[in-house]
Amino acid sequence: MALFSKNTLTQVSGFDNQIIAGELVYNQKTFWNLNFNTDGVPVNLTGATIDAQIIRRQVSNLQDTRYGLSFDIADYTPTPTSVSLTISNRADASGLFTLVIDESTWSVINTDPELDINAVDPVAFSGRIKVSFPSSGSTPAQDSIIFLLFLVRSDGVVN
């Protein structure tokens, strides 16, 4: 996985928020197993709604610096529709679930000019995982957000 500069990650998630960021190859399938816990104790996800969405973004000024990949990120034009990601393998009592990455469902086509092997600025997506906990007793409802950032590149074989 690529290393992103702190400034790039801060553009997407702010200063102290969690983020999953990575570089994917066109048509790659992968997943992340996530574990919600507090001080090593699993957070029970029973009753919680888990939703994950991403949307296409425009990347510019991509540079590979000594601190990681650095770039500017902006809205993509024309404005695309957001893409829902699959959440599977929920084990609510253990605070576990899997975020499934299937890049082939994101409407990136192999003729996309930003997938060219010599593209200056690659395809990018940002988004979030939102875990919505219902109110419980005197504790009000609350949301936990994990931001997402993915660059999608050509492997040089497909495109």
Domain boundaries, the chain: 6-153
Q: pLDDT averaged over consecutive 10-residue blocks of the chain (159 residues)?
A: 68 75 84 92 95 92 80 88 93 96 74 73 90 92 92 73
Strands 86-91 and 123-133: unpaired
Query: Cα separation of 141 and 153, whole Å?
Result: 39
How far is the C-alpha of 45 from the C-alpha of 58, rounded, in Å?
Answer: 34
Cβ pair 126, 147 in contact under 8 A: yes
- Position 88 scores a pLDDT of 96
Per the structure block, which two tokens stand in for 66? Answer: 């000594």
pLDDT at position 15 is 64
- CB–CB of 129/148 below 8 Å? yes
The answer to whether the pTM exceeds 0.75 is: yes
Q: Spelled out in words, what is the top-level CATH class assigned to the domain 6-153?
A: mainly beta
From the list 60, 54, 62, the residue with the least C-alpha distance to 108 is: 54
What's the pLDDT score for residue 120?
76
Model pLDDT, residue 44: 93
Q: What is the pLDDT of residue 116?
A: 73
